Structure 1
Amino acid sequence: QTAIDITAADLVGKLSIGNVVDLVLVSMFLLPEKMPASFQATYTPIAAAGTPAQIEHLARLLGAQLTAAGYGKGYELMKSQQQVKPPTDDDIEDENPITSIMGVGRDDSFPSSSTDVDIKPSIQSMSGNELGDIPSTSAGITTMSTIPSLQQKKMKPFKLADAIKPIEYDEMQRMSTDSFYRILQAEDVCETAGVGHVRKKTMTSLVCLSERSFRDIYEEYIFADVRKRHDLAFAWLYQEYVYANGYLSILDPNKKKDFTKYDDTLCRLLEYLQEKPDQRDGLFSRLLTSAPLITDNALLVLKRYCQDETRSYLGMNTLRDLIFRRMNMREKFLDILLDFTHNENISVRNNAIRIAKSLHDKEEFKQPIERHALQFLKHLTAAQPPEALFGEDKKASTIPSDT
């Protein structure tokens, strides 16, 4: 038997599935960046992969390469036999005694230890049509000495910049929108897992920091089932207030307070709740009384709500609650209520008078209500209504519905 035969026989029992997988994974680090054209042109799939004949064929191919590199059980056995055999005149004249035994020369180009070798398979295909059996004769083995020395391939350092590429703005927008939709659709999953509060915080933060598209999507999601998701609207409003005041460190600490987005969010929510046909849930009043800041535009929405005959009763009650709860704006809310006591609409006027009479029973409201009543009673003696009743500050009491 030759060295290749011995090494191949030794490898057959070691070519298990696990060992072959490990060899493939290790060799993947040595593959070039692009597939060589020669490999692509000659490669054909293995027809009988995993059969005993194919395993023996693979073991023989590996045995030939290991023997050529000076490794393997067959090489070591032949080398030991050569060392035991007494030298002859023919051996003295031979420059490489191992070559005469195995038919394979080992030159200085091969490393001396197994840790220095970089074995890269040169097998492009294991198809039975393209690869024949390697000859076992000494002449056939001698031809393996012509295999060029293997060169160790240098490992390229990993660079993140080489592995990534910039993303277009439109693609980034699409990906972020899709991600936001997935968060919205994970409502049941998050509630089951007990992380609903984390989901709510994530959504409100994204909406406050993102462009208009997220705001529209979030608003549409809330209004699809406002009774169930009204807490998201309240959380959104409070988050906008936090950002407007600059309480978060991610914003510029020198940035001036800007309540534009907060005002827009509050008014859009109020306008939607105002148009709801069923007002029994009281969400309009709850949003106004719970809002951290009531802007002038929000007051206009409230006045419009109070002027609606079908909603005047609820509107006046909301105004009364604001008078009791918002101490810093009590005078402004009280003036709005008293202005409605002489509104041209009878239903609106009666509801305002009803609330004013109930407030008059409170000691802290008697003086401003009586002062307002006496001031307007004096106008009854005038030949015509004074211009003060039709000033800009009074026109707000009768705001057109399309404002």
Structure 2
Amino acid sequence: MACSSSYLLEPLSHVRALSHLRQTCGKSVSTHPPIFSLLPHNSTIIAISNSTSKYRFIHQVICSRAESTHFTESSEKKKKMEETPFNPDKRRADFLHLLRSRRSSEVPLTVELAKPVTNPMYQQSPPPTFSEAMESCPKADIENLEDLLVEENLYLYTEASDQGRLPVLILSMKQSGCVSKRPAIVFLHSTHKCKEWLRPLLEAYASRGYIAVAIDSRYHGERADSLTTYREALVSSWKKGDTMPFIFDTVWDLIKLADYLSNQRDDIDYARIGITGESLGGMHAWFAAFADTRYAVVAPIIGVQGFRWAIDNDKWQGRVDSIKAVFEEARVDLGKSVIDKEVVEKVWDRIAPGLASEFDAPYTIPTIAPRPMLILNGADDPRCPLAGLDTPKLRAQKAYEAYHHSDNFKLLAEPGIGHRMTPYMVKEASEWFDKFL
């Protein structure tokens, strides 16, 4: 399907397709290479306006290639990946290389004491006030529990950037006498929430002897300064291509958090660190366990999905609607009248490279074997379509069987439930950690 559209080009030093433009237009052109990557490969640029001090505009782009060609290439890439031998270490190394490629500079992990947050930042209005699911979490029957809880507020510095300060909240029970090593569990919040939202879970797990840890993910909580911080970060990632605010940058923080929990805590058994989260937090838990084997037990809740499957089967709308602003921005930049599967794929490739290809669920979930993994989803969740997990589930089962630990993997889909964490899911996750940690 042919199309015509307008594109805004921002200046950067590195120029992609510059020689083609000069040959076509006979002018000196300063361009933004990531925006050029949005154009179909054999587009013909027929006119460029006079430049202003900051921008140039392409007035018209004629796309001579059909949309279907793009997806033929995607199918060929998928087929090639299917034929590649399963190599968890190589997959993990490739992902870590991607994470490091977006760091401005790595810094030594440093720890700083922080104060409790008195007015948590929620990027939704009105802010949430109660979660039946979290309040249902099994808790030890301790009469004066609040008096026996120890609260720690910390900042970890994970990289040299504006988002390099990682806020951490830790709850545990007071110990008398010698300090004993205990298991720890990391809890991750959903979109627009923050670590303080997770307090009911932290208190419940701490009452049962765990060291309960929560963080603010990128552009959330203490790392946000307005109701639109996360949305703006996603759009900026699409425009500039220099950050990965959707999932991946927070995974970097979780690797650094594992460094801290494993190496700088006398009260944590580094071989018994679990991780869980809800929705976006479930995705963070999934990818952190993929990237870092120190997360010994994992239980993502309403977070695991097949991104490629959703594109191929036209089931991407639920996930897209959860962060729609970036897709609307991409739609405009791509000259589309509506968000379609091409827009969706280009956004994923841009803000989370490999999310719908080599780092998708069929290729990363199996790498977690043989560590215990419980996936908890709603059977009717439009953001995490159950059919999209058929292949990841089968591959994971084979991987766990190869290690002779079939019982270490389970996928539970609660009937009649959409994109919602339920008391049942909280109970199952709790029992999973009690069993394996």
Taking structure 2 as the reference length, what is the TM-score of the superposition? 0.25
**1 or 2 for the larger relative contact order (CA 8 Å, sep ≥6)?**
2
Which structure shows the higher helix fraction?
A: 1
Provide TM-score, normalisation by structure 1.
0.26
Higher percent of residues as strand: 2
